[in-house]
Amino acid sequence: MRNPKNIHQELIVGGLLVLAVCLCGATVQGLEVVFKKEVTVNEDTILLKDIAVLSPADDGSAARLGALVVSAAPAPGEVLTLNRPFLQYRLGPAVQAGANGQTVWPENVIVKRTAQSISIEQFEEIFRGYIRKNAPWKASEIFFARISTPGIITLPQGRLAVEVQERSGQGYLGHVFLTAQVNVNGKTVRTISLSGEVLLQKEVIRAAHKIDRGAVITKEDLTLALEKIKDVRPESNPRWEDIVGKRATRHIQSGQILTVAMMQDIPMVQKGKQVVIRADNGLITVTTLGIAQENGQQGDQVKVINVGSGKEILATVVNPGMVTVHF
């Protein structure tokens, strides 16, 4: 007959073993873990099921062990080597308990990370496409002298989208800066800068030949040319009617593009030239001759010598060669 004390001790030991099995995740006899030599992963972390085959696969313990995190994955497009000491340190207790000792540890497991990339050409086309879509000119009139990109960038695998933003108030000509937000599966993974020199093809007015300083510009002095420019402000691209009849303020070389700074209006009243002085009080108008002492445009007040009296008066320019005073 068995000793009741021994029976009691056996029951205690049996209970502890059952408790240990429960704490280890419901170990099942015969679960096998076979590590792979080389694997490819898509996600940011490496799980045991990524680098090993757990069988039988329909075992509950296999699912729980497979979800163990082994390591962070390498960067997209990169390779990571997991050696035996690391795997045993990271997974040993859990695998040995769950697999009941049926595990062969590899020397190394090579882990490759999938990737996608955006090329220089794709970035350039993103820049061109944004400018052509948003600029107020026809796409056929827009040209790109150069585009700067960050080069090829490598990204995680997934649904790729690029959102482009421009700097406030910068316009679409000259040196243009854009910011591109790169998203994978709806998450921003990179923010990069794009820039480029943008030109507009437009008719400009050039000097048909050399124009001397002080010369009055005529139609014969000008010619039209189709050029790629980066400044469309009126002062940099005056119209034909804004130029003809003006006086050159500097020497203009043949072929040079004319700007507003190169010319000025011919004064209605010119210093040293004779003018008509009209004196008016609302009831009586009297005219006499005078000599302008300074240049003036319409509305300007200029000094004039009355030829008849020899006195200097202050008069207002109203028309070419005519000033007025009130008395």
CA 25 to chain centre: 53
Residue tagged 């980066």 (tokens): 230
From residue 202, give the alpha-carbon distance in Å to each of 137, 138, 230, 276. Answer: 10, 11, 10, 45
Provide CATH code, domain 274-326.
2.30.30.760
- How high is the pLDDT of residue 27? 40
Q: Which residues contact 241 (CB under 8 A, 6 or more apart)?
A: none
CA–CA gap between residue 147 and residue 149 (Å, rounded): 7
Specify which residues 215 forms β-bridges with: none
Under CATH, to which class is 27-114 assigned?
mainly beta
Residues of the chain with CATH 3.90.1210.10: 201-264
What does each of the 327 residues of the chain score in pLDDT, given as a tens digit?
Answer: 444 433 333 333 333 323 333 333 334 356 788 999 999 999 999 999 999 998 887 777 888 889 999 999 999 999 999 999 999 999 888 877 665 556 789 999 999 999 999 999 999 999 999 999 999 999 999 999 999 999 999 999 999 999 999 988 889 999 999 999 999 999 999 999 999 999 999 999 999 999 999 899 999 999 999 999 998 888 888 999 899 999 999 999 999 999 999 998 888 898 999 999 999 887 888 999 999 999 998 899 999 999 989 999 999 999 999 999 987
Give SS3 for 42: coil
How many CB atoms are closer than 10 A to CB 245?
Answer: 13
The answer to whether domain 201-264 has CATH 3.30.70.20 is: no
CA–CA gap between residue 182 and residue 180 (Å, rounded): 6
DSSP code of 31?
A: -
Residues of the chain with CATH 2.60.480.10: 27-114
Residues of the chain with CATH 2.30.30.760: 274-326
Residue tagged 């990571």 (tokens): 80
